[in-house]
Amino acid sequence: MIYIDKNKVKRPANLDSKITKDRRKEIIKANKFLKGAKYNKRYKTADVKKTLEKLYNNKCAYCETNIERWDVEHFRPKSLYPWLAYSWDNLLLACPTCNGHKSNHFETINEKAKLETHDLEIIHNLSEKYNKKENNKFVHPELEKNIESKIVFDQDGVISSEDERIQYTIKICKLDRDKLNIERKKQVLDNYNKYVMNAYLMFENDDKNFKKAVKAINKTFIEQANLNENNFIAFRKFAVKNFII
């Protein structure tokens, strides 16, 4: 997980179209998210998808995997908060695995928010207000500026945190699943070690050039960790700071 700044993009126009507003009204009237394509289509219109793809660099909001197939994920599940089904700050990009694990999980310490009349005027910006009110356990990657500093990895790519809310998010989305740990290690640390080993073999009796080669490898890995289109940025940054330099 990394912090995502949604202010970088414009809210997709379809979320404010008359047709979306009408569907929202019907949902609010029914007091539940309604079944059928005409309701599902509204939160995944082409402009919503395109904007999320750009904002998230085609990566899952939770596991940071680069994905071809992804879902428009509702941070607050639409089954529990039907009026937020088309709210821009409630729509994230997630891989089918994380989305599947998260499902309708959304534990809160305080009582869950209910729709108030005033909320309709700020329907696209309710996450912050609701987060404060509910003290929800799940982390919203667009509202946690310091998220990366609270995540820890070991040399096997296993993720953990001292922060209770991040712990809960790791647990629910299974961000410590074997496949992810292995991929993080393989694509970052194993790859780094391979380059260093090659340099060692190439400059076995030439300490000066070996050091020079490692310096160049380090530089490349630092650059890679700052390229947001790369997967596993949180791990790359952590690895550079703690295992590489």
Interface residues with Zn ion (CB under 5 A) are 60, 62-63, 95, 98
Q: C-beta of 94: minimal distance to Zn ion in Å? A: 6
Q: C-beta of 187: minimal distance to Zn ion in Å? A: 15
Give the integer Cα–Cα distance in Å for 54 and 231: 14
Residue closer to Zn ion, measured from CB, 91 or 244: 91
Residue closer to Zn ion, measured from CB, 151 or 199: 151
Contact 75, 92 (CB under 8 A): yes
Residue closer to Zn ion, measured from CB, 52 or 63: 63
Residue closer to Zn ion, measured from CB, 39 or 73: 73
Instruction: Quote the Cα angle for 220-221-222, to 5°.
Output: 90
Give the integer Cα–Cα distance in Å for 216 and 55: 30
Q: C-beta of 199: minimal distance to Zn ion in Å? A: 34
Q: Return the closest-CA partner of residue 85 out of 132, 46, 38.
A: 38
Please report the sign of the dihedral spanned by the C-alpha atoms of residue 163, residue 166, residue 168, residue 170: negative
Q: C-beta of 21: minimal distance to Zn ion in Å? A: 31
Structural tokens at position 241: 């700071």
Q: What beta strand segments (E) does 121-204 contain?
A: 151-153, 159-161
Q: C-beta of 95: minimal distance to Zn ion in Å? A: 3
Residue closer to Zn ion, measured from CB, 100 or 219: 100
